Amino acid sequence: MEAAAASGGGGRWCVVTGGRGFAARHLVTMLIRSGEWRVRVADLPPAIALDRDEEEGVLGAALREGQAAYVSADLRDKAQVARAFEGAEVVFHMAAPDSSINNFQLHYSVNVQGTKNVIDACIHCKVKRLIYTSSPSVVFDGVHGIFNADESMPYPDKFNDSYSETKADAEKLVMRANGREGLLTCCIRPSSIFGPGDKLLVPSLVAAARAGKSKYIIGDGNNYYDFTYVENVAYGHVCAEKTLSSEDGAKIAAGKAYFITNMEPIKFWEFMSLILEGLGYERPSVKIPVSVMMPVAHIVEWTYKKFAKYGMKVPQLTPSRIRLLSCNRTFSCSRAKDQLGYQPLVSLKDGLKRTVESYPNLQAQNQRSISKASIFLGNGHLAKTVLWEDTKQTVTVLLLLAVIYYHLFTCGYTFITAMAKLLSLTALFLFIHGMLPSNVFGHKVEKLEASNFHITQVALSLLVVSILSSMSSPAAFKIGTALAFTGFKAYEKWEDTIDSMVGDACSILLHISSTRKSSGQKPM
């Protein structure tokens, strides 16, 4: 749809560039719900494709009623940008490339040259106010952590990556453009956005969890972060626009930058753990020093640069990301609170709850149903160990069994004597473990809960002991261990096939038995 056609009718128009992006979608919805604006959504695709909930929600209704319109525009094309801004009073400039792609050419063409085109188009179309979505990374050098920084913190001499550098250049352009031909500008720096609709943070976390890679913590795990719920980010933009729209507010806020956060700093890895736990996955626990990860990240990034042209996907492990995962990054919102009237609408706790609930498809139980082998083993720690669901725990148990074998069964003991000694050692261990405090020298001691012991485990243990007791100790131990760690795993993997084969075998035996009975023969 042409922008000129979309600008017809009553009501004030505003434009959201990159309007199909994560945070931009929430801003579009907030602007439509306010009833103060008709919203023009500008983005790269030739036409807008709505999700089902969007079609049935606020945006779909606004598009049908003419309260919203879509226009295709590439920021690198000045003519397209100007057409998108025709008749608009306010522009929210939110478009930007993926920050994880460390491609200077791409970032410069969109973040810097594209922002120049946005400013020129605003002046050409007589737009009154321009709100630019910047980033806290514009003050991050990739080396030194940031703790409760305010807007007086200068740009670094060297940036963490090309995205941060070009966002800083764009921010400078926007602030310098303030006052040109009556244009008022303001920059918003939202910190670490999260919430429903995010296609990067939560999906990548879950992908790592399902691949068994989410157990690792980069660094010591004590670095603090300021996260911002996406609705609060949208509200920060609305506050900035309202402030600039008043004469007194414009005198204070025009030409300035503002940090926007949830005002609730939290340890970075604790935040990640809360998301993973909320979705049913285990929280990270294994710490890896940055000095170990950084050389690997450099190799991964070099490989990507060499093979990206052949279709290699953007890697998650890059030097800039390692720095981001291991440094403090907290920011003061005092200026935004005092000058823009910003206050988070949604708390961090509620934001996390809404985020987790918005991804039912990524819940751990949706990955696969609990297998019969796991149920048979009690669906507890025994199941996780035998079925190799916790590799570290399984390897530890196998090593322990090897020690038991060589120190008990190779000494010539009978099976009963060896089992008696083993049970005595187990009882002693459990007694000592039960007497330990919950915290020893700063390390948490996890107690064994009653729920970890199931009747199926007891019954299975008695059955196995009764069978193996007829064998020699070494043979019984080796056969029992092999069966436990291969038999159950095989059954878990092919349980439907095995159940079907067993069922068919039982049917055949029953059929033969009934045939013999009917013919007067003795059943087998």
Burial 432-453 (b: 16+ CB within 10 A, else e): eeeeeeeeeeeeeeeeeeeeee
Neighbouring residues of 197: CB distance < 8 A, sequence distance ≥ 6: 22, 25, 26, 230, 358
User: Strands (DSSP E) along 22-87, which ranges?
Assistant: 38-43, 68-72
Tokens of 515: 């045939």
In angstroms, the CA 347 to CA 310 distance is 44
Q: Which of helix, strand or coil describes residue 43?
A: strand
Tokens of 250: 């414009």
Identify which of 282, 278, 273 has the alpha carbon closest to the alpha carbon of residue 211: 282
In angstroms, the CA 59 to CA 310 distance is 38
Say if residues 14 and 35 touch (Cβ distance below 8 Å): no
CA-CA distances (angstroms) from residue 297 to 101, 161, 290? Answer: 14, 14, 10
One-letter amino acid of 75: L
| The dihedral sign for the CA sequence 409, 415, 421, 426 | positive
Paired strand residues for 146: 329
In angstroms, the CA 33 to CA 400 distance is 62
Bridge pairing between strands 224-225 and 266-267: antiparallel
In angstroms, the CA 517 to CA 524 distance is 10
In angstroms, the CA 198 to CA 22 distance is 6
- Active-site residues, by number, are 167
